[in-house]
Amino acid sequence: MNVKLYNQPLDLISADLTLEFVTSEQLEFHPYKELLSQAGFKAEQEQLCALHEHRLLVCGIDKEKSDELYRSAMATAIKAAMSYAYTSLKCSQYTLERFRVLIEGVVLGSYKFESYKSEPKPSKLTEVIFSHENNDGSSNDFDALETVLNQTLIIAKATNYVRNLVNQTPDDMTPQQMAVTADALATSNNLECTILDVNGLEYEKMFAMLSVGRGSAHPPRLIHLAYKPENPKKVITLVGKGLTYDSGGLSLKAATSMVTMKMDKAGGCAVMGMIKAISELELDIEVHAFVGAVENMISGNAYKPDDVLRAKNGKTIEVRNTDAEGRLVLADVLGYAQENVKADYLFDYATLTGACMVALGPYTTGVMGHNEDLKHSFIQAGASAGEYCGMLPFNRHLKKLIKSDLADVCNVSSKPYGGAITAALFLDNFIDEDVKDKWVHFDIAGSAYTESAWDVHTYGGTGAGVRMTLNWLMEHCR
């Protein structure tokens, strides 16, 4: 969708359709009150009424008028407008501060993934134009609006980039193809790119990651993308779980649970989207994105329950369930990342546990780590960016549940409780002591993929983590 900003009042802008947001209170004074009432329009949140004879689309907005409600309402209105035959739509501002969420509503709400459709159905709506004026006739600074537009488009398009990667099938997005995609991103965005193949992983003694990929016909890859501006204010490391497909291995998933497992690479895709946006925003921070791209399959060579694996940092892991594979991959990638980059902050993103969805529901990212202030800052950044986040607390008693009598640590808990926390506590074994207060783990198992539309999200990948993290970086690394 092409989003434009005009330095003109709305009535001087030429477009096929006008979009207007109306509260129940404003409805009482609306010039088309009678027509809207006859159509049963009550200005309830996201309720739509199209007055085609006036080329007007009216969308209800709750009188609370929060950013979240405007973002969601814009997405709903755009989806409706895309079903009409109009080619362009115009809209007023609803304050400078709200411009960002309206743009997100347009770009994220209009997203469609039709790469596998034999007959895709593109919308005729291709252009959304914003006036610099607010709906009450007051004006905003055009340069400030333009800055918001440019920044928001970069972030929203990076989110859609992640959605596209997540939505690609396991046959198309193998570990090797993920590495090819990263290399293409590095070329287009002037990033450094290092790829480790099986030989490189063996040289680096990343045997946990190698073991997970052993049963697949598609060998694993470790991806390292780097953005290095001159004199950066901070150094940030981002680590993503990139399971291009997860069958569960020999601890085979149920058939219904295997569907959608292409989404298990969402953490890796997210950090690629983040560094894409960071380079385009030209942020004054050095950023390293590491992705462990692996496929977890079954074969005569697959790793097994009862195996003991040695990770990059030398610690040994007792395998009791091969479906708890993402944490094994992250153990090695986290070790490699810390060895190669001395960062001010280390953040990892992974569709790690179904237990996180049990705890927080399917829309919310679990936030875990040792630094309370750092975790709280991400809760705030997520709320501002339109991503739901919830903290899950560590405690020493849960840590006992991953104790192994055979190795240094077990890859699953001995009891079926607190699974998201025990998975994060497992990762804690592979975080260096001097990094523990700089590290945050994000479990995006529930938030990274959806099979039913909600808010700005359509079926498939959501790009979870991208807007939240970029919001945090732009706020805390200036």
**Residue range 227-252: average pLDDT?**
98
329-355 confidence digits (pLDDT tens): 999 999 999 999 999 999 999 999 999
List, in sequence order, every beta strand (DSSP E) within 234-301.
Answer: 235-246, 286-296
Q: What is the pLDDT of residue 415?
A: 95
Interatomic CA distance for residues 141 and 128, integer angstroms: 20
Strand 221-227 relative to strand 286-296, pairing = antiparallel
d(CA 132, CA 92): 7
CATH code of domain 2-140? 3.40.220.10
**Three-point CA angle 317, 423, 223, nearest 5°:** 75
CA atoms in the 13 A half-sphere facing the CB of 347: 29
| Nearest residue to 388 (alpha-carbon basis) of 362, 422, 353 | 362
Instruction: Please compute the mean of the pLDDT values over residues 204-218 and round it to a whole number.
Output: 98
CB contact set of 192 (below 8 Å; sequence gap of 6+): 186, 224, 225, 226, 227, 228
Rounded Cα distance, 285 and 292, in Å:
23
**pLDDT band at 114, cuts 50/70/90?**
very high
Per cent of the chain over pLDDT 90 is 99
Confidence tier at 64 by pLDDT (50, 70, 90): confident
Q: Do the domains at 2-140 and 168-476 have one common CATH topology?
A: no
What's the rounded mean pLDDT across residues 225-235? 97
pLDDT digits (tens, 9 = 90+) for 261-276: 999 999 999 999 999 9
Q: What local confidence, expressed as pLDDT, does residue 478 receive?
A: 81
Contact by Cβ (8 Å): 46, 60: yes
* Nearest to 23, CA basis, from 68, 71, 63, 70: 63
Using the predicted structure, report yes or no on whether residue 65 has a pLDDT greater than 90: no
Burial class (CB in 10 A: 0-12, 13-18, 19+), 457: buried
The answer, yes or no, to whether residue 24 has pLDDT greater than 90, is yes
The domain 168-476 belongs to what CATH superfamily? Zn peptidases (3.40.630.10)
What band does 302 get if pLDDT is binned at 50, 70 and 90?
very high
What's the whole-number mean pLDDT along residues 187-204? 98
Using an 8 Å Cβ cutoff, are 19 and 57 in contact? yes
Euclidean distance between CA atoms 1 and 325, whole angstroms: 38
Each domain of the chain, given as residue ranges in start order, spans 2-140, 168-476
User: What span, in angstroms and rounded, lies between the C-alpha atoms of 240 and 444?
Assistant: 11
Q: Which pLDDT belongs to residue 98? A: 96
126-175 pLDDT, tens digit per residue, is: 999 999 999 999 999 999 999 999 999 999 999 999 999 999 999 999 99
Query: pLDDT-derived band of residue 188, with 50, 70 and 90 as boundaries?
Result: very high
Strand partners, 59: 21, 48
Q: What residues are annotated to the active site?
A: 253, 327
Residue 245 confidence (pLDDT): 98
Cα separation of 456 and 444, whole Å? Answer: 17
pLDDT tens digits for range 401-453: 999 999 999 999 999 999 999 999 999 999 999 999 999 999 999 999 999 99
